[in-house]
Structure 1
Amino acid sequence: MSGMRTCRAFLALAVGTALLTGCFADKKSAAPALPPSTCFGVFTPAELAPFMGYGEEVEVYSPDELSVNVSRGHATCNISVDGKSRFTASIDRRRAGLEVTWGSEVEKHRPDVLPYAEHSRLWDSGVALVVNCKADDGDFDLMLFLDAVPDEVKPEERRPVFAALMKKFLAASRQQANCPG
């Protein structure tokens, strides 16, 4: 009878350990901390935190400022967590008047148009727009793009969040690129 109790106790201990191990293996790591200045210094960690998900290591690939001009026409910021891209912001300075096409990849998301930008598309995981700039050294267009993994943002809040982020990104881009609004 003693051997039977030992066997039951061992089995209970093994099952309990397996259950606990399973619980700890499924537990998500906390959302990683972002540096105080992210993506050209435009966005705060609090604004981007909902897109970071869970993980341990955050990497930000970004120039310190937007700095697009005639000689440098493109800048991109990419934030990844544990090697997976979570947020991208990009700006392109291009020749004025080029045709604006969004392509099927954007259109399949049934995008809206932003109320403050005629040439724009807003969907549940991103936003893009093109604005014309009239400058002393010649007209040009700015093409701005934000894309993120919005898992931690409620579906009904996704488009308003992206619209607000783009409004801030547009203001900073116009100022930096000497593009009056």
Structure 2
Amino acid sequence: MSIRPSALVSMTAAWAALTVLTGCSEAAETAAPKLPERTCFGVFSRSDLGPLVGKGEEVKESGPADMQLTALRRTSTCSVDVDGRSRFLASATRQPLEQSFFWNAQLIKPPADPLPLGDKGIVYDTGARVLLVCKGSGEPFQVELAISGSIDQVEKGGSRPLFTQLMKKFVEAGRQQTKCGI
């Protein structure tokens, strides 16, 4: 039995096409990691953090389920890592009013912009911070909410608007979960 040259060319082309398609399907699976539906204290959705996670295979979220803070549990931090690399970080820190949080905005390059959320806020290319002064029925305290992330996958000039939107959600949830002003 002999194989005609044209059939051999067709079989070789089919094999090459199959190899290319198989490679594409494998690349598509590893292109964007599967985020949980809700992340970081239940605040952020999959679509919220999608622009920050980039490409990879394995997503790992670490941190507590909530950011309820007390005089004993003063901080709560959530991290989203992709293939072992940190892609997003959210934290809430509580302290007495007589202490102050120190933000050296002069070291941030390009300079931070004011963020009109909470009692004081700033947004910069790789994150945002907001201060909440919490006065309610109990002892007054303050909470610093901070988010940061990898902007490798974010369109140039799009990170500050993205962090502003993320911080709006974080402030709303932070007030409730830390019982700020309650």
CA distance in 2, matches of 1:81, 1:98: 35
1:48 maps to 49
Measure how far apart 1:108 and its partner are: 3.0
Percent of counterpart pairs with the same letter?
36
Measure how far apart 1:106 and its partner are: 5.0
In structure 2, relative to structure 1, the CA distance for the partners of 1:106 and 1:120 (3 Å cut) is: farther
Q: Which amino acid aligns with 1:46?
A: S
Residues 47-78 of structure 1: CA distance to partner in whole angstroms, max 9, x if unpaired? Answer: 00111111111100021111212221110000
Measure how far apart 1:179 and its partner are: 1.3
CA contact (8 A) 2:105 2:112 kept: no
CA distance in 2, matches of 1:97, 1:71: 17
Measure how far apart 1:92 and its partner are: 0.4
2:66 maps to 65
SS of corresponding position for 1:69: coil
CA distance in 1, matches of 2:66, 2:111: 32
CA distance in 1, matches of 2:166, 2:98: 25
Please give the root-mean-square deviation of Cα atoms over the aligned residues, in Å.
2.3
Measure how far apart 1:178 and its partner are: 1.4
SS of corresponding position for 1:86: strand
Q: TM-score, normalised by structure 1?
A: 0.79
Q: Does 2:177 align with 1:180?
A: no
2:157 maps to 156
List structure 1 segments (4+ residues) > 4 angstroms apart after TM superposition: none
CA distance in 2, matches of 1:100, 1:59: 29
Q: TM-score, normalised by structure 2?
A: 0.79
CA distance in 2, matches of 1:67, 1:106: 31
1:103 maps to 104
Structure 1 unaligned blocks of 5 or more: 1-19
CA distance in 1, matches of 2:179, 2:168: 16
Structure 2 unaligned blocks of 5 or more: 1-19
CA distance in 2, matches of 1:161, 1:141: 25
1:3 maps to none
SS of corresponding position for 1:155: coil
CA contact (8 A) 2:93 2:145 kept: yes
2:76 maps to 75
Q: Which amino acid aligns with 1:55?
A: G
CA distance in 2, matches of 1:113, 1:172: 21
